[in-house]
Amino acid sequence: MPLHSLQHLSSTAVLGLWQLTEPPAELWAQLPQATTYQTLMPTTADAVRQAQWLAGRVLAHALLWKLVGAAQDGLVVQNDATGRPWLSGVEAQPLTLSLSHSGEWVAAVVAQGSRAGVDVEVIRDKAQRLASKFLSAAEYDDARAATQAAPDTAHMHYTRLWSAKETLYKLAAQRGIIFKKQLLLSSFVPEESGEIPGTLVLDGAETRHCICYYQPAPGYVLTFCHEPNP
């Protein structure tokens, strides 16, 4: 079943996971308002990107149905000029949407009257190779210490750190953020699932956040954060 799970994070937010196994044609058949979405599909997307794009929107509508039921009529997933997804037609009851895809997994959070971020990543060596570019000096030292005793977990750990910063970035909903200076992660004990304390440094102010993580499937890591609007 491609729809892997739907999970209430609270009474106002739902997290969903979709395992992507279908070609684009099958996803089109499951998508409400397909005619509208045909005009929104990126023209440069190849078959893989099309499938990920479509699955994200099918999943978003499934979460909307779970959260607000028939009130989703007329809602459409749009993208702003920077590519960030948003929901049109929600003036009466503001809804936040966060989407992510990597490999065969698509993740989404829909939140009502609150904000959210979600990120799913294939575990690979890229995050470790680029760690000095997105981790602060203190975070880099913590990561090295955390993986020194178990080097076989290094790829997973660094991917998890990258994913956590991606989730914080989506929560911030601002462009031009410097990952190693404005998206900060505190020390934590790495486990199969858990929480990472995070700090957003925006406009001279610091705010604290809690990023949840776990592995939705072997070879993948998922992070998410949901909280009331500031």
pLDDT in tens, 201-212: 998 899 999 999
Query: Kind and range of the H or E element at 133?
Result: helix 131-134
In this prediction, residue 228 has a pLDDT band, given cuts at 50, 70 and 90, of confident
pLDDT in the model for residue 149: 82
Q: Is a pLDDT exceeding 70 seen at residue 71?
A: no
In this prediction, residue 1 has a pLDDT band, given cuts at 50, 70 and 90, of low
Read off the pLDDT of each residue in 2-22 and give the average, rounded to a whole number. 94
Q: Is a pLDDT exceeding 50 seen at residue 116?
A: yes
In this prediction, residue 44 has a pLDDT band, given cuts at 50, 70 and 90, of confident
pLDDT in the model for residue 81: 78
Measured between alpha carbons, how far is 50 from 53 in angstroms, rounded to an integer? 5
Read off the pLDDT of each residue in 38-67 and give the average, rounded to a whole number. 92
In what order do the strands lie in the sheet containing 183-185? Answer: 114-122, 220-228, 205-214, 194-202, 183-185
In this prediction, residue 74 has a pLDDT band, given cuts at 50, 70 and 90, of confident
Domain architecture of the chain: domains with CATH: 3-112 (3.90.470.20), 120-228 (no CATH)
pLDDT in the model for residue 70: 54
CB 118 within 8 A of CB 165: no
Q: Is a pLDDT exceeding 80 seen at residue 188?
A: yes
- Residue 24 has φ and ψ, to the nearest 5°, of -55, -40
Q: Greater confidence, 36 or 91?
A: 36
pLDDT in the model for residue 73: 66
DSSP string, 162-175: HHHHHHHHHHHT-S
pLDDT in the model for residue 92: 46
Q: What is the pTM of this model?
A: 0.94
Q: What is the mean pLDDT of the chain?
A: 92
pLDDT in tens, 79-107: 887 788 988 876 646 889 999 999 999 99
pLDDT in tens, 142-175: 999 999 988 999 999 999 999 999 999 999 988 8
pLDDT in the model for residue 144: 95
